[in-house]
Structure 1
Amino acid sequence: MTSTVSTATAAETQFVDVDGTPFAYRTLGVEQAGEPPLVLLHRYRAEMDDWDPLFLDTLAAGRRVVIFNNRGVASSGGETPVTLEEAADDAAAFVRALDIEKADVLGWSMGGMTAPIVAQRHPELVRRLVLTGTCPPGNPEFVPCPDHWLEVASKPEFEDEDILHIFFTDSEASRRKGRESLARMDKPGRPGSSVKTSPETMQAQITAIGAFWGNEQGWFERLKDIQQPTLVANGDTDVAFPIIDSVILFREIPNSQFTVYRDANHGFLFQEPVVFANEVLAFLAE
């Protein structure tokens, strides 16, 4: 067993060459003998500093955790992919560039759309999947996201209130935990609510998500072919991807289990970072 950096705030940003493009990444936690690392795929408009440090640290107490910026995102080079298939192939190439033979993969939101594609295009790399606050491709039971949520999520700049609105519920308990999460992500001159990716990245990701929702590559029909054990999790009042989306993923993916967090919105994993991280660790250890 080899120790690496143990806290998210102390983890050094490193770079690895992925087919000629520098990808920024960080590793933290403890490498457990015989256990694959956990690789995290991020949401729309996010980069590495947009993970809640308490969530990362709790995960890292049980295994090696790897976070990274995909091609064209923040400190990584290249141009942001305009399809999730490209993003999935980039993620697989990144894993291989780190000499990781097999990994567990956790995807949140857009990352949760990408993760099953990684598992299907590169099955030899993925042992288990965790899909959080996300949706199936080409969902025939699609419930559209409210316009007001999309308007806030696409603002050029965020304030704390915007993050509280799109990721947490209106209850005082949820908002309090949201403020605590933002405070954990704050850095000097860089609030936890600040937008850290470019307008070009945002537009490319919108294009990629649109194609995914249109099921242009037939991924919905292939959900039944996913062989990896999968944990599907969501908040009971997720506005971006209503809970029916998670139910459908659970229904369509054969070897899956489903968990719901009460009084929780799209950011449930930051509202309950310790509880959910420990649930993830328990699932990965099964």
Structure 2
Amino acid sequence: MKFASTVRSLAFAAAAGWLALSAPAQAVAAPQASITHQTAPTQYVDAAGVKLAYRRFGKPGGVPLVMFQHFVGNMDSWDPKITDGFAREREVILFDNAGVAASQGEVPATVEGMAGHAIALIDALNVKQADLLGFSLGSLVAQQVALQRPDLARRVILVGSGPRGGEGMASLTPEFLDMLKKPHDPADELLLDVFFTPSAASQQAGRAFLSRLRARQTQRDPDVNDKVAPAQIAAFAAWGAPRADAAAYLKQIRQPVLVISGSRDLVHYTVNSFTLQQNLPNAQLIIYPDSNHGAIYQYPDLFLAQARLFLNQP
């Protein structure tokens, strides 16, 4: 499948605030509880022969939370309110998959390939068990990690997600493509369309989110290059291709799963989250009102409270 335009992919990347304001920081020895999303240095690890970039911060000890990023996203694409909210109680690990932003290697063209790099990174960091949080494309990767390494994944949160062969998942949805075509000035206001609904309340939450997203001014993650979007879209196409018994694999993911969706997700249609909940053996579903693909950024406090409740269960 061909991407409509490299320019659109780069516009989307810029829209999430992914401009490198300076070179990434050098690696440091160990995580510190005093470090936050805004100050966490970029570190590097050799993961099965590929140098991957990551940031590790928060309260050490216990089960860390590994976070898997969305389409053409990098480590600075996460909402600091959410990452710091989790970090007050646990260690948080953010990372760039192979070929993305500060990480080396080639961008995999399959979700399975992305999951392989993610597993290699977690193993290289000597993490024996982790909770996983995947957003959008990252949620597909998190599913695959839980499937391939059930020993590694304790609990899983899937945000803006969908199953293999899900509705509208074999390509970027028409609504999403229309959003990419619209002019936005500044460019990151694209996310007001992609992550939020047109309502006044949702747009107000969106502007608060953008303010938080822009807060880190130094040592930001580099922008994604023009090879990222086509490879990731190929991964979407392979994952979303219609097939017989497409959701059967979900029965093998036996970890507790929390599925989160917006009520009007136009990137991964909301019905796909319902399909996940119906087919995963141990899943619960939360749908936030008047919300699009970035529902957790519209309701960060509520999401944190519900996610903590889910993750803190034994």
Check whether TM > 0.5: yes
Aligned match of 2:47: 18
Partner of 1:96: 123
**Contact 2:38/2:216 (<8 A) preserved:** no
Tell me which of 295, 298, 304 is aligned to 1:268.
295
Residue 26 of structure 2 corresponds to none
Deviation of residue 154 (structure 1)?
Answer: 7.6
CA distance in 2, matches of 1:111, 1:81: 13
What's the CA shift for 1:150?
Answer: 2.0
Q: Does 1:9 align with 2:38?
A: yes
Report the AA paired with residue 220 of structure 1. Answer: A
Task: Identify which of 234, 242, 255 aligns with 1:207.
Answer: 234
- Residues 1:164 and 2:192 are matched in the alignment: yes
Asked if the contact 1:54–1:184 (Cα under 8 Å) also holds between the matched residues in 2, the reply is yes
| Cα pair 1:23 1:76 within 8 Å, conserved | yes
2:256 is the counterpart of 1:248? no
Unaligned 5+ residue runs, structure 1?
Answer: none
Task: Summarize the Cα distance change of 1:215–1:23 in structure 2 as closer, same or farther, 3 Å threshold.
Answer: farther
1:142 Cα offset (Å): 4.9
Query: Structure 1 length as normaliser, TM-score?
Result: 0.90
**Cα distance in 2 for residues equivalent to 1:19 and 1:273:** 35
State the shift of 1:7 in Å.
1.5
Does structure 1 conserve the Cα–Cα contact (< 8 Å) formed by 2:202 and 2:291? Answer: yes
C-alpha separation in 1, matches of 2:155 and 2:244: 23
1:220, CA displacement in angstroms?
2.5
Contact kept, 8 Å, 1:5 with 1:27, in 2: the verdict is: no
Matches within 5 A, 1:96-175: 96-139=123-166, 142=168, 146-153=173-180, 159-175=187-203
| Partner SS state of residue 277, structure 2 | helix
Partner of 1:198: 225
Give aligned-pair identity as a percent: 36
Q: CA deviation at 1:9?
A: 0.3
In 1, the alpha carbon distance for the partners of 2:168 and 2:110 equals: 20
- CA contact 2:38–2:215 (8 Å) conserved in 1: no
Q: How does 1:60-71 map to 2 (within 5 A)?
A: 60-71=87-98
Tell me how far apart the structure 1 counterparts of residues 222 and 164 of structure 2 sit (CA, whole Å).
26
Worse overlay, 89-98 or 5-14? 5-14
Deviation at 1:26, TM superposition (A): 0.6
Number of corresponding residues: 280
CA gap of 1:94–1:195, structure 2 versus 1, over 3 A, is closer
Query: Unaligned stretches of 5+ in structure 2?
Result: 1-30
Aligned partners of 1:156 and 1:195 also within 8 Å = no
The Cα shift of 1:187 comes to 5.0
- What is the CA-CA distance between 1:219 and the residue it aligns to? 5.9
Check whether the contact 2:68–2:135 (CA below 8 A) recurs between aligned residues. Answer: yes
State the AA in 1 paired with 2:68.
L
Q: Distance in 2 between matches of 1:232 and 1:216?
A: 23
Q: Give the root-mean-square deviation of aligned CA atoms.
A: 2.6
Q: So what's the TM-score if we normalise by structure 2?
A: 0.83
Q: 1:179 to 1:195 in 2, by over 3 A?
A: farther
Matched residues in 1 for 2:183 and 2:51: separation? 26
Range that drifts further, 142-151 or 13-22: 142-151
